[in-house]
């Protein structure tokens, strides 16, 4: 257990404009699960990309199993038994599982001739490790959780001894996450060494043997998990006391702002996704929508936001009919929307921060005059938002793609809240962002409620729903199967409803 | 501008090796080419003449490509513009120059815009790939032009497959006598600047760029994606049509078959090499113009087949694309 498998010595890595790693030294023991904890931008991923050969360190040394190694590319790393599963999967959607796993092996004509052998070996591996997967299935048909299994299998297929996982649970449901954590523990029992990049404290506590906290490109400390607790870790990570408890719930509820009646919405493939839901949201309350993702929440959000047509039913917003009207008109009525997919919808990645701040107002006074953008006003506006919402950036002319996820989300929040909405629709507001930003975003949402806005919160994070919502609607297969107060004590019932048990069945049992 | 110049350097190197293999002295050939492109006032003027349609088309295509629509049809749109301009220049002979010139140019622009807008409409309304439709519309425009100049629009004498000359008042004034350089070159610079302002300084351009990068974000921002695509297609088609009108009113004074030696296709390269920035297009347009005019002289004076220059142009593009990919992977790696 005490044998060192990987040793990093004073790793320094700079990118133009930023220092990602400022001399990090670290030892990983064979067979341990070692968590790398830190906020986004702390340098975790960069450090591990260096170990995986994706980046080369400016200075410092890497020792693997006692010898100094020099990794020029991931190929070198894989040869030595180091594998990495990225946050964004690196799979080819229209190839099969087996084809993805052997991708990059040479010579291809030889490998491809032995496909059935490869498939059999994958099957054996997947049985051995309990990672159920069909090697012949095309990857685009797999769920996100299954795709992750393919990534892990890929590493195991190449016989890795050290597996690096970059925020693996960010894309998983609670059930899938706990399954993954269990699997990792088992693998570590078999002698696999796991480095687990995360910023979720509960995961660290659950899974790791030791944890190293990084902050601003420096190592803060390595501690045994058994001697740590979430409060200590959060403090090490953020550098100050963090209030893990959420703001109190004290909204004064007013009139009905949003009312939805018998709403049905089809998805992109024109299959019914939302099937006749009825609910309303009052000013001064946060209504949470719980459910395993993919049960119609996304389609509901798009329909409410005027981004996809409704099939049936009515939406009323501040007394006006609001189904199938344009996003622009909705926005004028006081509707603000923080979309689920930040990169695809919420921001324009290659644009600057300043350009992103005027996404809804690019042709409105004072940002445009006579058809021309007023760069001074736009810059001043962006600076103002960045300052008020505590966005860390080198300047508003920076491309927003260069910011961390948390800072990107703060820009989105700033842009949407700045308009003082009467109805705020937030969809997965803290997915994939760090603890500091999460805390900030949640406070902002609560503050909107306190200021009298009606808030509809869609989240797959139950903790978040409990922390913020006044009441919960539970979605299953496009229907609302239950409504409960947002109280943690009800988690069991809510969990069952998320799996499809209706509220009536509870009362029937009683 | 680093990648374009690096691409040119690589291309000249590869081209040099090819020349060497083909049995020519690369240094000598390049020297001849340089003189051919820039060696005298007249050669410079010829280079700028060839750059004029390239800068025009490249600027328009920069707008289309930034808006995420792949207009491969500039060649056909140029022909559509040339036909309309010729027609206007033949019919409205009675008008004075200050009315006729703008009218003829507008006719070309409008015709190109309609030709391009047609592909845009098919895309927005039926989801037809603009790459396919614009290529088909190219054939249509080129063949229709052949038909027109051999039949309905053939000159009164009827000897050659060409139209009558346009009215004197419809011709663009020359700006650098005794060369043939005409005011169309200045117009192309103006169009480059205007499209630059449109793309990067106006709110319409902001909407177009948003549509080009992320249609989802555009819808979220309340931008009409279909209208944006249609506008981008009409603008790039209109500018290509203007290029056709400029060729007719500045240089040929009449319409005949194959009035363009492929400017519409070179324009794609010109735009891409400039990273779809119309100001950059001025430089890449002149570069491709110089390659064209230099190669003619090279062929005459160094007996190097001008096909080799096409090869060099191809290599410029390939290296630019490769360096572009290189740059993209570099920036991606820098993201955490």
Kindly report the CATH number assigned to the domain that includes residue B256.
Answer: 1.10.3470
Say if the Cβ atoms of A327 and B219 lie within 8 Å.
yes
CB pairs under 8 A between A and B: 78
Chain B residues lying within 8 Å of A20, measured CB to CB: 336
**pLDDT for the residue A113:** 79
Taking CB atoms and an 8 Å cutoff, what residues of chain B touch A45? 336
Q: Are strands A368-369 and A372-373 parallel, antiparallel or unpaired?
A: antiparallel
Which phi and psi (to 5°) does residue B202 adopt?
-110, 160
d(CA B306, CA B299): 6
Say if B92 is an interface residue toward chain A (CB within 8 Å). Answer: no
- Selected for mutation to probe chain A from B204, B221, B276, B329 (highest A CB count within 10 Å) is B221
Nearest residue on chain B to A366, alpha-carbon basis: B203
Residues contacting B9, CB < 8 A, separation 6+: none
- Yes or no, beta carbons of A371 and B221 under 8 Å apart: no
Lowest mean pLDDT among A83-87, B110-114, B197-201: A83-87
User: What number is the ipTM of this complex?
Assistant: 0.85
- Average pLDDT value for chain A: 86
- Report the gap between the CA of B214 and the closest CA in chain A (Å): 7
Cβ–Cβ under 8 Å, residues A21 and A57: yes
Crossing angle of helices B307-334/B2-21, nearest 10°?
140
Mean pLDDT throughout B276-282? 95
> Which H helix or E strand runs over B104?
helix B97-126
Note down pLDDT in tens along chain A; length 510 residues: 468 999 999 999 987 767 789 999 999 999 999 999 887 668 888 899 999 998 999 999 999 998 999 888 888 898 899 999 987 788 888 889 998 888 877 677 777 778 888 889 888 888 887 778 888 888 888 877 788 888 888 888 888 999 999 888 866 766 777 888 888 998 888 889 999 998 778 888 889 999 999 988 889 999 999 998 888 887 888 776 655 555 555 667 788 999 999 999 998 778 888 999 999 999 999 999 998 777 889 999 999 999 988 889 999 998 888 888 889 899 989 999 999 988 889 999 999 999 999 999 999 889 999 999 999 999 999 999 999 998 988 889 999 988 888 899 999 999 999 989 999 999 999 887 877 888 899 999 999 999 999 999 999 888 889 889 999 999 988 999 989 988 877 877 887 787 666 666 555 444
Q: Please report the sign of the dihedral spanned by the C-alpha atoms of residue A370, residue A376, residue A377, residue A378.
A: positive
> Which chain B residues are closer than 8 Å to A40 by Cβ?
336
Confidence (pLDDT) at A1: 47
User: Is the Cβ of B204 closer than 8 Å to some Cβ of chain A?
Assistant: yes
Q: Do B213 and A351 touch (CB under 8 A)?
A: yes
B220 and A327 in contact by Cβ < 8 A? Answer: yes
Gap between the terminal Cα atoms of chain A: 51
Number of Cβ atoms within 10 Å of the Cβ of A422: 18
Structure tokens at B238: 């209109």
DSSP state of A195: E
**CA angle, A304 then A169 then A167, to 5°:** 110
Show residues of chain B in contact with A373, CB under 8 Å: 201-203, 206
Using CA atoms, how far apart are residues A481 and A493, in angstroms rounded to an integer?
Answer: 11
**Two tokens, residue A290:** 């719980």
Chain B 251-280, CB below 8 Å of chain A: which residues?
none
| C-alpha–C-alpha distance, residues A382 and A371, integer Å | 20
Residue B166 has pLDDT above 60, yes or no: yes
- Look at residue B334 in the predicted model and tell me its pLDDT: 41
Mutate to test the interface with A, among B206, B327, B329, B330 (most CBs of A within 10 A): B206
Q: Determine the 3-state secondary structure of B158 from DSSP.
A: coil
For residue A319, what pLDDT is reported?
A: 84
- The predicted structure's pLDDT at residue A114: 82
For residue B233, the surrounding DSSP H or E stretch is helix B225-247
Contact state of B206 with A373 under an 8 Å Cβ cutoff: yes
Number of domains in chain B: 1
Give the closest-approach CA distance of B217 to chain A in angstroms. Answer: 4
Beta bridge partners of A268: none
Q: Identify the residue whose tokens are 């007719």.
A: B248
What is the C-alpha separation between B121 and A404, in angstroms, rounded?
39
Query: Do the chains contact at B221 and A368, CB–CB below 8 Å?
Result: no
Residue in B202, B203, B210 nearest the CB of A348: B210
Instruction: Round to whole Å and give the CA distance between A357 and A379.
Output: 9
Task: State which residues form the domain around B99.
Answer: 4-335
pTM for this entry: 0.76
**Tens-digit pLDDT profile for residues A167-177:** 888 667 667 77
Which of the two residues, A462 and B101, has the higher pLDDT score?
B101
A63: number of Cβ within 10 Å: 15
B222: left (phi over 0), alpha (psi -120 to 50) or beta: left
Q: Yes or no: say if A55 and A13 are a contact pair by the CB < 8 Å rule.
A: yes
CB contact under 8 A, B221 and A362: yes
Q: Which residue has the higher pLDDT, B160 or B307?
A: B160
Between strands A218-224 and A335-338, the pairing is: unpaired
The band of B336, judged by pLDDT with boundaries at 50, 70 and 90, is very low
> B99 at the A interface (CB within 8 A)?
no
A427 bridge partner residues: A458
* Cβ-based burial of B2 (10 A; exposed 0-12, middle 13-18, buried ≥19): exposed
Q: Does B194 touch chain A if contact means CB atoms closer than 8 Å?
A: no
Crossing angle for the helix pair B2-21 and B278-301, to the nearest 10 degrees: 20
Record the tokens describing residue B227, joined without a space: 């209208």
Across residues B272-299, what is the average pLDDT? 89
- B143-B146-B147 Cα angle (round to 5): 90
Assigned token pair, B278: 């119309």
Write A236-243 long-range contacts (CB < 8 A, 24+): A236/A37, A237/A37, A237/A38, A237/A39, A237/A42, A237/A199, A237/A213, A237/A435, A238/A39, A238/A435, A238/A436, A239/A215, A242/A435, A242/A436, A242/A439, A243/A439
Among the partner-chain residues B202, B203, B335, the one whose CB lies closest to the CB of A401 is B335
In chain B, the residue whose alpha carbon lies closest to the alpha carbon of A41 is B336
Give me the helix-helix angle, B278-301 and B41-66, nearest 10°: 140
Residue B61's pLDDT is 97
Beta bridge partners of A29: A4
Backbone angles phi, psi at A33, to 5 degrees: -100, 115
Q: Does the CB of B327 have a partner CB in chain A at under 8 Å?
A: no
Question: Two tokens at A35?
Answer: 């968590």
Contact call for residues B77 and B244 (beta carbons, < 8 A): yes
Closest chain A residue to B207, measured at CA: A362
User: Do residues A221 and A190 touch, judged by C-beta distance below 8 A?
Assistant: no
**Cβ within 8 Å, pair A362-B207:** yes
User: What average pLDDT is seen over chain B?
Assistant: 89
CB contact B332 to A (< 8 Å): no
């Amino acid at each position: 257990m005490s044998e060192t498998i990987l040793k990093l010595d004073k790793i320094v890595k700079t990118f133009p404009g930023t220092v990602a790693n400022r001399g990090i030294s670290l030892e990983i023991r064979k067979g341990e699960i070692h968590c790398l904890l830190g906020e986004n931008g702390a340098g975790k991923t960069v450090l591990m990309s260096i170990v995986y050969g994706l980046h080369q360190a400016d200075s410092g040394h890497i020792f693997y199993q006692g010898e100094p190694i020099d990794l020029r590319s991931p190929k070198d790393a894989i040869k030595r038994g180091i594998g990495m599963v990225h946050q964004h999967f690196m799979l080819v959607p229209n190839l099969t599982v087996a084809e993805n796993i052997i991708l990059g092996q040479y010579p291809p004509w030889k490998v491809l001739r032995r496909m059935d052998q490869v498939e059999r070996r994958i099957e054996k591996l997947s049985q051995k490790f309990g990672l159920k997967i069909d090697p012949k299935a095309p990857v685009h048909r797999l769920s996100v959780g299954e795709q992750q299994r393919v990534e892990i299998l890929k590493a195991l297929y190449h016989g890795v001894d050290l597996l690096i996982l970059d925020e693996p649970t960010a894309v998983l449901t609670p059930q899938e996450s706990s399954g993954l954590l269990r699997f990792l523990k088992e693998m570590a029992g078999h002698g696999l060494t796991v480095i687990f990049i995360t910023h979720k404290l509960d995961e660290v506590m659950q899974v790791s043997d030791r944890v190293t906290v990084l902050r601003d490109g420096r190592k803060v400390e390595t501690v045994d998990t058994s001697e740590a607790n979430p409060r200590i870790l959060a403090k090490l990570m953020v550098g100050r006391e963090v209030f893990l408890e959420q703001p109190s719930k004290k909204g004064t509820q007013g009139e009905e702002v949003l009312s939805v009646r018998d709403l049905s919405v089809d998805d992109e493939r024109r299959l019914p996704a939302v099937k006749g839901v009825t609910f309303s949201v009052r000013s001064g309350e946060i209504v949470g929508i719980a459910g395993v993702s993919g049960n119609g929440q996304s389609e509901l959000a798009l329909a409410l936001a005027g981004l996809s047509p409704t099939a049936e039913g009515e939406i009323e917003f501040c007394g006006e009919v609001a189904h199938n009207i344009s996003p622009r008109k909705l926005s004028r009525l006081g509707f603000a929307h923080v979309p689920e997919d930040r990169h695809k919808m919420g921001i324009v990645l290659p644009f600057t921060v300043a350009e992103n701040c005027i996404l809804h107002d690019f042709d409105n006074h004072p940002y445009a005059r006579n058809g021309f953008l007023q760069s001074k006003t736009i810059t001043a506006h962006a600076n103002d938002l960045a300052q008020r919402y505590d966005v860390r950036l080198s300047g508003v002319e920076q491309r927003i793609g260069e910011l961390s996820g948390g800072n990107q989300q703060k820009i989105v929040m700033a842009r949407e809240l700045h308009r003082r909405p009467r109805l705020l629709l937030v969809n997965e507001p803290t997915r994939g962002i760090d603890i500091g930003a999460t805390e900030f975003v949640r406070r902002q949402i609560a503050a909107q409620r306190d200021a009298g806005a009606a808030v509809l919160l869609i989240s797959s994070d139950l903790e978040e729903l409990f922390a913020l919502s006044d009441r919960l609607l539970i979605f299953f297969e496009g229907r609302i199967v239950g409504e409960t107060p947002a109280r943690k004590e009800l988690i069991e019932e809510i969990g069952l409803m998320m799996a499809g048990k209706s509220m009536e069945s509870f009362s029937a049992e009683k | 501008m680093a990648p374009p110049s690096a691409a040119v350097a690589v291309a000249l190197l590869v081209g040099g090796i090819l020349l060497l293999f083909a049995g020519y002295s690369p240094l000598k050939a390049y020297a001849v080419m340089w003189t051919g492109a820039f060696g005298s006032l007249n050669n410079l003027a010829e280079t700028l003449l060839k750059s004029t349609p390239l800068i025009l088309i490249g600027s328009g295509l920069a707008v289309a490509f930034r808006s995420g629509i792949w207009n491969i049809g500039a060649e056909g749109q140029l022909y559509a513009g040339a036909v309309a301009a010729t027609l206007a220049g033949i019919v409205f002979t009675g008008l004075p120059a200050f009315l006729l010139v703008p009218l003829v140019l507008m006719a070309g622009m409008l015709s190109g815009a309609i030709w391009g807008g047609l592909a845009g409409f098919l895309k927005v309304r039926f989801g037809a790939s603009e790459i396919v439709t614009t290529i088909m519309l190219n054939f249509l425009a080129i063949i229709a032009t052949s038909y027109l100049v051999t039949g309905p629009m053939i000159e009164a004498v009827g000897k050659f497959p060409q139209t009558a000359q346009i009215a004197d008042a419809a011709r663009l004034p020359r700006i650098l006598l005794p060369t043939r350089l005409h005011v169309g070159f200045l117009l192309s610079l103006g169009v480059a600047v205007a499209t630059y302002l449109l793309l990067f300084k106006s709110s319409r351009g902001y909407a177009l760029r948003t549509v080009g990068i992320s249609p989802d974000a555009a819808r979220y921002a309340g931008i009409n994606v279909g209208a944006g695509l249609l506008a981008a297609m009409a603008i790039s088609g209109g500018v290509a049509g203007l290029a056709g009108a400029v060729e007719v009113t500045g240089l040929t004074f009449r319409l005949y078959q194959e009035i363009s030696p492929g400017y519409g296709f070179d324009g794609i390269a010109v735009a891409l090499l400039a990273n779809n920035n119309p100001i950059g297009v001025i430089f890449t347009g002149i570069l491709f113009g110089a390659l064209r005019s230099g190669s003619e002289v090279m062929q005459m004076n160094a007996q190097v087949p001008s096909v080799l220059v096409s090869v060099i142009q191809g290599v410029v593009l390939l290296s630019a694309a490769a360096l572009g990919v290189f740059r993209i992977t570099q920036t991606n790696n820098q993201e955490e």
